[in-house]
Amino acid sequence: MVMSLISRGLRRRAAAIAAVGALLCAGAPAAWADDSGPVDATITVPKVAGLSDEFAMGVDVSTVLSQEESGVTYRGYDGHTADIFDVLAASGVNYVRIRIWNDPYDADGHGYGAGNVDVARALEIGERATAHHMKVLLDFHYSDFWADPGKQTAPKAWAGFTVPQKAAAVTSFTTDALQRFKAAGVDVGMVQVGNETNGGVAGVTGYTDMATIFSAGSAAVRAVLPDALVALHFTNPEKGYATVAAAMAGVDYDVFASSYYPYWHGTLANLTTQLSTIASTYGKKVMVAETSWAYTMEDGDGFTNSIASAASAPQYPISVQGQATEVHDVIQAVADVGDAGIGVFYWEPAWTPVGPPSALASNITTWQTYGSGWATSYAGGYDAGATGIEYGGSSWDNQAMFDFQGNPLASLKVFSYVRTGAQAPLAVSSVAPVTVTVAAGDAITLPATVAVTYNDGSVVDQPTTWNDAVDWITGPGIYTIPGTTTSGVATTATVVVNAKNYVTKNPSFEDASTSPWTVTGTGASIKATGDSYAGARSLAFYKATAYTFGVSQVVTGVPAGTYTLSATGQGGSLGATDSVTLQSTTSTGTTTAPFALTVWQAWSTPTLQVTVPADGTVTIGAAASVSAGAWGAIDDFRLVATAPVVDTSALQTLVDRAAGVTRARYTAESLATLDDAVVKAKVVLGATSADPTRLAQAQTLLGDALDALVVAYTPSITLGAASVHVGDAVAVTGAGFAPGEDVTVSLGSASSTVQASSAGAVAATLTAPAEAGTYSVTADGAVSAVTVSATVTVTVKPVVYAPHVADATVAYGTPVVVTGAGFAPGESVVVTVGQAKATVTATSAGAVRASVGKLAVGTYPVTARGAVSAVAATSTVKVVKATATVSLKASPASAGYGRKVTLTARVSPSGATGSVQLYDGAAKLGGAVAVSGGVATKVVSTLGVGTHRFKAVYLGSSSYTTATSATAKVVVARAKVTSVSISGKAFTRGTRPVVTVRVGKLDNGSRAAGIVTVRAGGVKVGTAKLSSSTSSVTIRLSKKYSTSVKVKATFTPTRSSTVAPRTSSTTTLRVR
């Protein structure tokens, strides 16, 4: 018997440390005090002593732009949407690593994916990091897409270049890129020339030529950013770095960077040893450029994860605590190197799903459009045979430090916690899985203890009690046996009972000698490899060019009969026409079955039915014909007697039925019995060929357990009334429900969800349906999963009419309309308003509307009585004075003194009677003027000179309100003399001339009295009075003249305030 108990390392019990995590504030601290104590948290992280402020707590978030463009959002610890760089800074991250590809696009501009990170996009990420006070590490791949140990493809633009030409291209490309980062002010602290360059860089292989490329990149960094560190990056520390470190001794660089993934790269102790040796031997700084760990085994986007099973990653618990512990331990391993250990970078902590697995078709479109997946289909045109390029989404979402919804995990704070320490309440972090492997017929002994790991890192071997289902194991198969430790921790043991393997000689290639296996062809060999399925060795295959190979062994002494041949393999990068097959050959012929080799650790176990003839000889093996770059490993050949087929479908049906049980409905005791029966049933089903007796026993045991389930809750409901009217409230009370459960109470189409009290009571109120009838009221508990009911009778309500009519106020001249409601549909209603009356018919809704015409101003009682409802509804109608308006027009608007002005007032409505009082300013213009036909007119001719503002005031009537017009303005000017003329006969030289001055009428038709003045050369030479009854005067001038003289006359009215003066034209008096 072989028994293995998988557990983690040293058994130690540290002191328990406890409490709950706290949110970090905005930015990461500029410095960290070495003596700061542990903080309360939801995870436990021991402090790493002696970390400098400059120790790189780094993350690689190269996909972040494509993620955000795909609609991914990130949140802070408060659950609100946040800038991811704010979240990173708040978590203690002080360095951001960004990969750079030369040209990650095809000829049509389609991105290859994984962020499509060319220099421009890397620069954008770098600017955001710098804005958040984080340094930047630039990771030049010197490729157009992924560069790693499996591929180092040169950029398209460098195809066919010699090594010197590539070195020159590296210098030029690096120089140009760094100058752009420098110009943008990005805080570049380190530059990585090449990525995981174990076997090559930029398509160049061989350490001498690789050193040439590294030196070219380093020289560019020294020239542009002399203060930046230069890093070389390698991986596989488990294989040692002595050779590559020695080969690169002549390269000018500062930092030796290693990847470290626990599930691939050996122990942390070895990592520290490898880095310490390089630091002490070559004087280099060292760091881990990539690491990560899974916090869940769930798939977030429908694309297979790189680490998809806990079995492939046993080093730490698959949990948030396990993720934090892994990062802490890697930081500690680097810190243990001493001052030369300068930092750790977590790879792609923000590569979260763009959508759930259920939206895979949409996710594929998003990955293709924005390059947010591992690779787009366009990448195949660049490097179709490159190992690890898989068309699809994020294979890293379960290793991110944000959950599938973008919330930061507590493990993200590990970058700050390692400086202070963090403590959480002591809790179980993981239970070491137990696997017991025996040969058929051997005794099965399960371990007395299992290793329980706590979140403080302590491990305790706890005594364990195993389910007696182990006694139901009857033969070959794989079985799961549950157990419970003394502290109540649940665990399981996997029991593998192997049928006799007739491949007795080196079935898993573990012997030092490869005999009796024969390997043919190229590209395949038996050797130790990390890709083995069982043990350390397997048949591993890989070649950079197309190749074929075969492996075979002749097995003899096999009893004649039917057997099943199987082998287990993994691999990837197979072409569409490639084949890798399992094969068996006997004297009767050869049969084959294909391996399905898709991705790393996706194990494929094909089987063949082999009939071994009487000679007892069968040749087993595998054969392959594959394209360049295809890789894989084949292991664990088994040839076992084919077990008889036993029909277990009835038992499987019972197991499925048990899985569908609503557990909340039943008592714990009956469920425990059921669970025990299920365990035993699954043990029977785990057998390669079920034992008929145990099969029958398991069916009976499980069927009885299902039938014996005891309902935990017996709810009931009571109605407030057994009979209600249509539309009435129906009160429902209940008891016996599960405390706190949601209970949905329904009646017809109405429902209400209420929460049961701590005593299991509920109360709800529903509305009775609109139609009469008998209805069922139901109450359905979400936890108790029991539906109870009661019956209620719904009847039509007796009809009671309560008609009413509305009060109303209307203006005189408007028809009086009475409205009402509540009458019997269609009934005749007589409406009386004072002495007026109207008969109308109520609508189907019982509404009425009646018009009784126009009424005089006053208050009137209203009565409305329906012929069916026979109820008099009363109200009041008020008829109030109608609103009148008045306008005023003055004509003409401008007049001379003494002229007539007509004032016309118009009252609306035109039927209004009464009178209008006219005003000149505040003064009345005589008495009120009667309105006739809506018009009142007054003529005035005694207006003084000046501006007059008239208004009309309608004095109202018994039916109309008073009203005032707007102002009408009239401007009265002084009267004008129509004409003034002067004439005279020729005069004798030396005499006084005589003139006649004629003054015309005023423009209002009258004459004015005044003074006539004659002037000669501006000198007054004569005057005369003119009465209002005369039109001319004769004047002898006061001077004698010897020559002709020019004269003109001016008439100045006596009343100059009302009459304007006027001057004649000039006349010449001639001398004779």
Name residue 385's amino acid.
Answer: G
Per DSSP (E only), the strands in 486-606 are 490-498, 518-521, 524-528, 537-542, 547-555, 561-572, 579-586, 589-594
Three-state secondary-structure class, residue 721? coil
Q: Are strands 589-594 and 579-586 parallel, antiparallel or unpaired?
A: antiparallel
- Indicate if 390 belongs to the active site: no
Q: How far apart are CA 619 and CA 628, in angstroms?
A: 28
H-helix or E-strand containing 684? Answer: helix 668-686
End-to-end CA distance of the chain: 173
The half-sphere exposure of 577 on its side-chain side, counting CA atoms within 13 A, is 5
Of residues 263, 265, 285, 267, the one with CA closest to residue 275: 285
Q: How far apart are CA 170 and CA 221, in angstroms?
A: 11
Q: How far apart are CA 912 and CA 914, in angstroms?
A: 7
Q: How far apart are CA 562 and CA 618, in angstroms?
A: 12
H-helix or E-strand containing 333? Answer: helix 320-335
Q: How far apart are CA 747 and CA 805, in angstroms?
A: 37
- Give me the catalytic one of 69, 124, 127, 290: 290
Burial class (CB in 10 A: 0-12, 13-18, 19+), 127: middle
Q: How far apart are CA 731 and CA 718, in angstroms?
A: 8
Contact predicate 321/429, CB 8 Å: yes
Q: How far apart are CA 192 and CA 190, in angstroms?
A: 7
Burial class (CB in 10 A: 0-12, 13-18, 19+), 139: buried
Contact predicate 129/64, CB 8 Å: no
Q: How far apart are CA 254 and CA 230, in angstroms?
A: 5
- Indicate if 290 belongs to the active site: yes
In this structure, the number of other CB atoms found within 10 A of the CB of residue 686 comes to 21
Backbone angles phi, psi at 451, to 5 degrees: -85, 120
Per DSSP (E only), the strands in 66-194 are 74-75, 81-82, 95-100, 135-140, 188-193
Q: Which residue has the tokens 């009893």?
A: 559
Q: Are strands 975-976 and 1059-1060 parallel, antiparallel or unpaired?
A: parallel
Contact predicate 777/822, CB 8 Å: no
- Give me the catalytic one of 196, 348, 741, 827: 196
Q: How far apart are CA 177 and CA 391, in angstroms?
A: 29
Burial class (CB in 10 A: 0-12, 13-18, 19+), 194: buried
Q: How far apart are CA 886 and CA 961, in angstroms?
A: 11
Residues 6+ apart with CB under 8 A from 473: 444, 479, 495, 497, 683, 687
Contact predicate 438/495, CB 8 Å: yes
C-alpha distances in angstroms, 1064 versus 381, 992, 1037, 1038, 1046? 112, 21, 17, 19, 12
Could you tell me if residue 521 is left (phi over 0), alpha (psi between -120 and 50 degrees) or otherwise beta?
Answer: left
Name residue 394's amino acid.
Answer: S
Backbone angles phi, psi at 320, to 5 degrees: -60, -40
Q: How far apart are CA 419 and CA 401, in angstroms?
A: 19
Just list the catalytic residues. 196, 290
